[in-house]
Amino acid sequence: MPSETEFIQAHGWHCVAVGKPLVHCEWQIDTSELAGDEVVVEVAGCGVCHTDLGFHYDGVRTKKPLPLILGHEISGTVVAAGADSSAMLGQNVVIPAVLPCGECVDCSSGRSNVCRSQIMPGNDVDGGFASHIRVPSRWMVPVPESYSGDLALLSVVADAISTPWQSLQRAEVAAGDICIIIGCGGVGGYSAQLAHSLGANVIGIDVNPARLQALADIGFENLIDSSDLSNRDIRGQLKELAKQNSWPRAGWKIFECSGHPAGQTLAFEMLGPSGTLAVVGFTMEKVTIRLSNLMAHDAKAFGNWGCQPELYPALLKEVIRGAVNLEGTTEKRPLNEINEVFETAHCGGSSKRIILVPS
C-alpha cells in the first residue's frame, strides 16, 4: 500500500527555454497513484552539474521536451511509496543519476549505465531542482543509519563522485599509478580525491587557478596551471614531475574531466606508452586528433557515461569513510536562488560544487 499521505504539495523550477530564466512551479503528487515500484523522495539537496548547464544554456536536448525540471544529483528521504516499496518509507537515500531497466542486454552484461530504457532525472523525467521527486524504487541507495552528516551533501555522490569512480574502476587504478586529471573543478576535483584514496600519484591540470587552489587547500601538491602553456610545455612538466618523484614514464592514466575541446585535445596528446585515457567530460564541440597515437603507443581510450547503480553502495561507504572532502568542496544555496546560481556556475564563478536546498 502507498503511504498514508494522499497528496503531497510539491514545488520546483521549470526550464522553459534555452537560456531563459527558470520559472517557479507548483503541483500536487497523488500518492494513491504510485505504482508498486515507485517512491516519492523529499529532496534534501540537488547538485548543480555541467550537464544541467548544457541543457539550459547550450541547447543540449533533453529526452523529455521542455518545460522540464532539471537536476540529477539528488539525496533525500522517502516520504511515500507504492505497495512493493513500502519498506523504504523513512529511508534516507541517494538517487543514482541513471536508473536502468535492469532487464535488457546492456543491464545483464555489466553495462547498466547505458541501458537504452534508462531514466535520468532532469532529462527523461522531472528532476531534483524541486521539493519532491517521483522515481522508481529499484536503485535507491540507502544511506547507512550510522551516517550523522548532512544528507544534502551526499547528493553529489549521485553523479559528480560516482561518475569518476566508475572511470577509475574501469581504468583499473591501483596504488602507485600515475593519474593525470585534466579539468579540476567538480567531477575532476572528485576524480583527483578518489584516485588519491586508491593510492595513486595524482597530477592536476587546469586553466583556472582557483580550481587548482581548491585542490591545494585539501593537500594536493602536483598541480599545473596550463593557462599560459603549450601542450608541449605541459608534457615537459609532466615528464619532469615523473623524474623528480621516480615515477614510471609509461602507463599513465589520464582523466579528461574539463568537457572542453582544448582539454580533450591536451588529454589525447598526453597519452603515451601503454597509457589509458578516460573521457569523462562532455562538450558539443569537435576536436581534431591523430587517432594513430593509440596504435603507436599501444594505448587505449574509453568514454564514461554516468555510473552503474550497482557500484553505488560500496562507493557511498567509501565517501562516508572520508575518501572525498564533502564539506570543503561543496557549497549549499537555497533552491530559490537557482537562476543566480546557474548564471554564476555558467560563468565559472565558483570552485565548489553548488548544492541547491529546497526551503
CATH number of 162-303: 3.40.50.720
Cα(45)–Cα(160) distance, rounded to whole angstroms?
A: 14
In the structure, what pLDDT confidence band is assigned to residue 234 with cuts at 50, 70 and 90? very high
- Specify which residues 15 forms β-bridges with: 68
Q: Which three cell numbers stand for residue 308?
A: 552503474
Cα→Cα distances 3→89, 91, 242, Å:
8, 13, 58
What pLDDT was estimated at residue 3? Answer: 46
Q: What is the pTM of this model?
A: 0.92
- Specify which residues 334 forms β-bridges with: 357
- Taking CA 138 as the corner, what is the angle to CA 134 and CA 139, rounded to the nearest 5 degrees? 90
What pLDDT was estimated at residue 1? Answer: 41
Cα(242)–Cα(71) distance, rounded to whole angstroms?
A: 40
pLDDT single digits (tens) 162-196: 999 999 999 999 999 999 999 998 899 999 999 99
pLDDT single digits (tens) 273-307: 999 999 999 888 999 999 999 999 999 999 999 99
Query: Where in the sequence of the chain do the CATH 3.40.50.720 domains occur?
Result: 162-303
Tell which wins on pLDDT, 201 or 50.
201
Q: Under CATH, domain 7-159+307-357 is a member of which superfamily?
A: Medium-chain alcohol dehydrogenases, catalytic domain (3.90.180.10)
111-140: string of b/e by CB count within 10 Å (b at 16+)? ebbebeebbbbbbbbbbbbbbbbbbbbbbb
pLDDT single digits (tens) 137-168: 999 999 999 999 999 999 999 999 999 999 99
Unique residue bearing C-alpha cell 564514461: 304
Query: Where in the sequence of the chain do the CATH 3.90.180.10 domains occur?
Result: 7-159+307-357
Is the pLDDT at 212 greater than 50, yes or no?
yes
What pLDDT was estimated at residue 254? Answer: 98
